[in-house]
Structure 1
Amino acid sequence: PGESEDNKDYLIYGALTNDKKNRKESLTNSIIRAVLFSEESSPVKNALLKAGLGEDTMTLSTDGLQQGMGICAINTSKNRRDEFFEIIENSIRETVEKGFSKEELLASLNKIEFQLRECDNYPTKGVIYMIQSLESWLYDEDPKIQFKFNKLLDELRDAIDTDYYENFVREKILDNPHKVLISLEAKEGLNTKKDQDVHNALQEYKSSLSEEEIVKIIEENKILEEMQNKEDTAEEKETIPALSLSDIKAKALEIPTEEIQKGKTTILIHDLFTQRIDYFTLAFNLDFIREEEIQPLSLLSDAIGLMDTKNYSYQRLGTEEYLYTGGIHSSLSSYFLEKENSYTKKFSIHAKAKPEFLDKMFDLIDETTRFTKFEDKKRLKEILQMIRLKLENGFVESGHQYALMRNRSNYSQQGAFDEKIGGLSYYDFIVDLEDHFDEKAESLLTCLHELSQKIFNKNKLIVNITTEEKENALKAVEKYLEKLSDLEHEAYDLKFLLEPKNEGITTSANINYVVQTGPLAFPNGYKGSFEVLSNILSNTYLYSFIRAQGGAYGTGMGISRSGRFGLYSYRDPNIAQTLDIYKNLPEIIQGLDLPQKELETFIIGSLNKFDPPTTNATKGKLGLLLYITGQTPEDTKKAMEEAIEADIEEFKEIIPLLKESLDQNYITVIGNADAIGKNKELFDTVRTLKD
């Protein structure tokens, strides 16, 4: 309620293009979808944005035997539907008549090839391969064709020099009679109306029932509740195949790491088999950053690669990126330092490429980090819109993550930093820039430029490399480092003023994300057994009462090394009821009584926290994490041993700490306006997302 309907509609264009059993056409679909609709250089996307049709666009695809592709304009007017259709068709027709850019086709193909060869870097490749095999197997085709892609990629690469792609688009899109044009119309108060309609329908149905029929429904509901509350018997549990603790040994993960010091830069090399793909992370020092620079710094991370540079337009930059690399992106992160009980901050650039393209990869990194032209106000405004829409979608789709972030900022310096770079505070920062764009754009562009010149230097830089061709990778890094200054900045002790408050944050969603967290003062440090306790409570008590009976889509509990305890529910119809369930945790732990075999099952289920399946690329990233945080593989092994040796009585030692944490009553709820309004006494403040 209170949200305007103006320009909040979605317009969708789509076409049914091919049969999944045709592997060549299926891959062609992916290539064309990227070139036409999703990349920054995509003609349809740019034509729609230029016409002001939507604040951003979203590429669409369909799965199943019949595949399609399409594009959605986000936040526009249904009254512009005909214009939307005309712009898309004209843009596609002009592109086909002129002919696709061969480099854009090749960049899209290269991107797909990385995904196929890496299996998207999933550590459980066997499971993913099984799922992929079903894409043809389900339709009575050879399951192995999903993995025979070398010859197919060569065919598609050769086809770039022909009119194959243009003909595909003519036949499958322009001349295709099987297309859709859809408008999704925003309606203020729609969820409230739907709820009321359901309430009225139920009341009408109830009034039509006899007394006997009502009693029967009540009895059936009691039977359902009994079934939901019924414990599985020992005999039923025995039917589930399970490992034994004797099958598992605590071990330190072996990550080969060589540390090299090059002046003020630390280079970490992990010599591992990577299928001739080299992986890099450049972690730039941020110990000098001040509070007023934090959110512009987060914007810088989001904007890198999306603005013109000295030598490339932002559209061309994206093409160059996938012509020569498997992707370049940035991140802004905090890392907990357990031994110092503090945290550190890094601005990281992540990239991967084949060994023969490393020099070009580093040229592109240098181009985006040091030579971005912070001049184009129109482009900056488009980026702000994209960031806002992404955040708004996150609050609705993954609100528990944002609620956890917001809640932890009540009592944690690291939590406050994380919230400012990616939570509600960052969203407010972006919205404020949009609302006052004309007066703030110039100074913001200047700030972004100054930050880029300040951050990207080799003083205290950590370069993390995972490769099987060490000398070649090291040579490329050394060549890149020669371009960077070694400018030193005085360290700054960043401290936030923490202002705890319980918040209700309303969105247009019809569900809630209910979070309660708090600090835990470990008297003897973090123990691996805490993971076992979290696993038990998440999958028994919380699951039964919040998900099975309460109707939430998910729930969980976590205890981190940094001394932060958290509870969350996901897509939850309730608020007060869920918080009451949280409050009972100490009592539940006090009464916890599990047979040894069942305890062992929970222990085994928690061990992936310490020994997760990893690819060699992931091992390299983990090696960097251990280096930055000061943790060692032996620390992980010790925590794993503590988890294996966990027992019920040990869990009870944490009850006073949990009770103290829960009593501090840090509550954050993101969700339905009516539900939050009915529980407003729980909160110090209630606000809409866009306040």
Structure 2
Amino acid sequence: MPAYQYGGDPFSAMNFDADLEHLEKARGEGRFFENLIRAELLDNTYRALLTVVPDPDMEERKRRAELDRLAAIEARLTEEERARILADALRLKADQDARQDLALLPTLELISTEQKDLLPLFSRALTHSGAAGEDYAEIAGRIASVTGGVGAAAQVQSLAVRDDYLQSFVISGRALDRNAQPFIELLTDLVARLEIEPRRLKEIIAEITTRLESSLAGLGFQFALLRAHSKLSSEGAINDRLQGIGMLHTMRKLARLDEHSLGDLISQLDEIRKVLFRAEALRIVVTCEEAMIQPFEELLTGLVGALAPDGADGHPVKPPALERKPEARTAPVPVAFNVRVFKTVRYTHQDSPALLVLANYLRDTYLHRELREKGGAYGAYAQAGVASATFYFGSYRDPNIVRTYDIFDTAVRWVTDGEIDAEALKEAILGACGDVDPLESPDIKGRREATNRVTGFTREARELFKQRLLQVTADDLRRVTGSYLLGAPAVQTTVAGSDLIEAARKERPALFEVVAAI
């Protein structure tokens, strides 16, 4: 397309070998790129200079215009209208503070702890096994021919207002409108007619375990981060079992089973399927053009009808957080992954936006300089979990352990006692705005909006968060640092090579209370 737009031959892009031959011949004649740069860039007089000058008064004009608009509206309000607005505001606050009806959500809470440990395997087996009389190869062919991919995963989603979370299992996929019927038929076969064969299950277990074992260097930070969070909350403990060290240990145990011992495991996976996929527990989110809504409603009726009615009973299972002991895990890596996590406040709290800005500010200034430039770490992080009410410091592929934890300590004092650079603060605010309002594809945006509705991240709450974000000041950064990080209790976990951990223990014996292999 670019070639066509600029008068070129659009078919030439398909004849890539001819272009390579032409380039090789031109290079052989000498100074091809040098002459090209001079002719097309340096000596090219057909150029344009566009200067964009920011308007420093635009935000203030917009703010004043909005205040004037609101004042004009307020002046026209009758007493009855004022009373109605006040009542609406009070009702909104009551709705935000109310406990959400979690019984209406697709939930993992009726699955036992042992079954939850199998969810990573079940997620993979669901989309990589046979179904409805077809083997894995045939199902894979259907997925490839009528969809843009189908995935499944257990998820833990924080609530916006109170210190709690939802547990759910999500199946997602995308397809063209013309493939709507075969797409829904495929999903129906997967959730209602799944067939897991022992040989195929053994292959899936081996694939997952091999991928994890061969990726420890890349997963070290994720494992350290999830392990640290597991010491703060039940929510973190579940995530560690689903995606962290707990998952790795479960897969290693399953990998030791031979093919003839997988019958009980297949029965457990089928029981998980029956508990999860019940008609009354299903929540369907479709992102599509308006003309496709009715066809999808008709197609989805068949999917719902193929599921068992709601018959599950039991008590919610939420594991406790682990002990808050500093922990080190040895791994076959020559570097360290260090994490320290603090408990903070939820999304709707007035300090949450300032904590998000603080994380960006620290990451791009002090931590980048001290851990990356001076310390040699590949990555230096500060992140505010505004949904989970956490704040963490972290380092990635770090040659240091003791020094890094010292930097985590001094980073807090650097904010409370030092000068805050105005330009860096502005950049941190802009970065935070990008964090809370990212560009997303329509399907992801639709899923996120549906999740926001049931977890309390309402449009009103998000707009208020953005407004507070733009109002964060240097004093706010100092205040939240002093309130939530300075001298506050924290948990920490390190995943590193055994030599690095042993050296750290010799230098500072009390740094870790628990040391074990990953």
* TM-score, with structure 1 as normaliser: 0.58
Distance in 1 of aligned mates of 2:264 and 2:57: 60
Displacement, 1:678?
Answer: 1.3
After TM superposition, give the deviation of residue 363 of structure 1 in Å. Answer: 1.6
Whether the 8 Å CA contact 2:328–2:501 is kept in 1: the answer is yes
> CA separation in 1, counterparts of 2:484 and 2:252?
39
Matched, 1:486 2:330: no
What letter matches 1:545 in structure 2?
Answer: E
Q: Does 1:641 align with 2:467?
A: yes
Q: 8 Å contact 1:286–1:347 — kept in the other structure?
A: yes
Match of 1:579 among 398, 402, 405: 405
- For residue 296 of structure 1, the aligned residue among 96, 111, 118 is 118
Shift of 1:23: 5.0
Of 511, 530, 540 in structure 1, the residue corresponding to residue 355 of structure 2 is 530
Gaps in structure 1 of 5+ consecutive residues: 1-20, 28-63, 67-136, 141-238, 252-263, 267-282
Q: Pick one of 485, 490, 500 that aligns with 1:658.
A: 485
C-alpha distance 539-414 of structure 1, shift in aligned 2 (>3 A) = same
Identity %: 22
- Which of 627, 652, 665 matches 2:453? 627
Partner of residue 434, structure 1: 255
Alpha-carbon distance in structure 1 between the residues aligned to 2:265 and 2:216: 25
Q: 2:145 aligns with which of 313, 323, 336?
A: 323
Contact map agreement 1:355 1:472 (CA 8 A) in 2 = no
* Distance in 2 (alpha carbons) for counterparts of 1:461 and 1:245: 51
User: Out of 553, 558, 566, which is 2:392 matched to?
Assistant: 566
2:241 to 413, 417, 420: 420
Q: CA deviation at 1:245?
A: 9.0
Question: Equivalent residue for 1:611?
Answer: 437
Contact 1:285 1:459 in 2 (8 A): no
Give 3-state SS (helix, strand or coil) of 2:284's partner: strand
- Provide, for residues 494-548 of structure 1, a one-character-per-residue CA deviation record: whole Å limited to 9, x for no partner: 2323323322222222222111112225795552121111111000010000001
Counterpart Cα distance in 2 of 1:286 and 1:245: 51
Listed one character per residue, the Cα deviations across residues 225-284 of structure 1 (whole Å, up to 9, x for unaligned) are: xxxxxxxxxxxxxx9998969459899xxxxxxxxxxxx998xxxxxxxxxxxxxxxx84
The answer to whether the Cα contact below 8 Å between 1:265 and 1:463 also exists between their aligned partners in 2 is no
Distance 1:597 1:541, change over 3 A: closer
Contact 1:335–1:628 (CA<8 Å) still a contact in 2? no
Distance in structure 2 (CA, Å) of the matches to 1:687 and 1:308:
39
Q: 2:129 touches 2:136 (CA, 8 Å); kept in 1?
A: yes
Would the alpha carbon gap of residues 598 and 511 (structure 1) be closer, same or farther in structure 2, given more than 3 Å must change? closer
Structure 2: runs of 5+ lacking an equivalent: 1-10, 22-32, 37-50, 67-101
Residue 499 of structure 1 aligns with which residue?
A: 323
Q: How far apart, CA to CA, are the structure 2 residues paired with 1:26 and 1:310?
A: 44
1:265 & 1:316 partners in 2: Cα distance? 37
3-state SS of the aligned residue for 2:485?
Answer: helix
Distance 1:495-1:349 versus aligned 2 partners, 3 A rule: closer
**Considering only aligned residues, what root-mean-square deviation do their CA atoms show, in Å?**
3.1
> Does the residue aligned with 2:127 lie in a helix, a strand or coil?
coil
TM-score (normalised: structure 2): 0.76
Q: Secondary structure at the match of 1:653?
A: helix
Q: Which segment drifts farther, 586-595 or 638-647?
A: 586-595
Distance between the aligned counterparts of 1:460 and 1:597, measured in 2? 50
- 2: distance between equivalents of 1:417 and 1:324? 34
In 2, distance between residues paired with 1:328 and 1:318?
Answer: 10
Closer/same/farther in 2, CA of residues 329 and 242 from structure 1, 3 Å limit = farther
Q: Distance in 1 between matches of 2:265 and 2:109?
A: 22
Structure 1 residue 632, shift from structure 2 partner: 0.8
The whole-number CA distance in structure 2 between the counterparts of 1:386 and 1:437 is: 15
Contact in 2 for aligned 1:396/1:509 (Cα 8 Å): yes
* Structure 1 counterpart of 2:293: 470
Q: Give the equivalent residue in structure 2 for 1:448.
A: 269
Contact 2:127 2:152 in 1 (8 A): no
The one-letter amino acid of 1:386's match is E
- Residue pair 1:405, 1:423 contacting (<8 A) in 2 also: yes
CA distance in 2, matches of 1:430, 1:684: 26
Q: Does 1:346 align with 2:168?
A: yes
